[in-house]
């Protein structure tokens, strides 16, 4: 079988796309790669891409010079997790508090890792997780 080498993109959907983009840029320091009225692509550690889409903005195929992007959309409160260094957990707690972001939950995992959970402006559940959560992380 051919190998998959990782997850490159993760997507969330927003009613207010610019508000969502500013949240991830300001709170987590993600750098904007490209954007228009339909989407905003953000760099995560210069290795991964978080794509924020305008909810309902990609219900029809998108024709590009190189091919067609099939339609897609999403609803509901989705979840995603970002890895952080264990030593930076207290700094993240202070940073979230300073930005007025309520930590909804803090979990100590049996393997020794920690997770902080909070919500973005669309109420998606965002997790910051240290090593020790999964057997592979």
Is 108 part of any domain? yes
Three-class secondary structure of residue 59 per DSSP? coil
Residue 70 lies in a domain: no
Position 69 in a domain: no
- CATH code, domain with 114: 3.10.180.10
Range of the domain at 54: 1-58
Tens digits of residue pLDDT in 15-40 = 999 999 999 999 999 999 999 999 99
DSSP per-residue string spanning 12-42: EEESSHHHHHHHHHHHH-PEEEEE-SSEEEE
**Per-residue model confidence as pLDDT tens digits over 48-103:** 999 999 999 999 999 999 999 999 999 999 999 999 999 999 999 999 999 999 99
Residue 119 in any domain: the answer is yes
The reply to whether 68 falls in a domain is: no
Same domain, 102 and 50: no
């Amino acid at each position: 079988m051919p190998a998959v080498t990782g997850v490159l993109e993760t997507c969330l959907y927003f009613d207010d796309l610019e508000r969502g983009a500013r949240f991830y840029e300001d709170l987590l320091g993600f750098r904007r790669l490209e954007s228009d009225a339909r989407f905003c692509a953000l760099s995560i550690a210069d290795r991964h891409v978080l794509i924020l889409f305008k909810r309902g903005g990609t219900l029809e195929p998108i024709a590009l010079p190189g091919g067609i992007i099939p339609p897609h959309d999403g609803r509901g409160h989705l979840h995603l997790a970002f890895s952080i260094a264990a030593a930076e957990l207290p700094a993240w707690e202070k940073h979230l508090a300073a930005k007025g972001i309520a930590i909804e939950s803090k979990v100590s995992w049996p393997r020794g890792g920690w997770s902080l959970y909070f919500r973005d402006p669309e109420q998606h559940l965002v997790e910051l997780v240290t090593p020790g959560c999964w057997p592979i992380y």
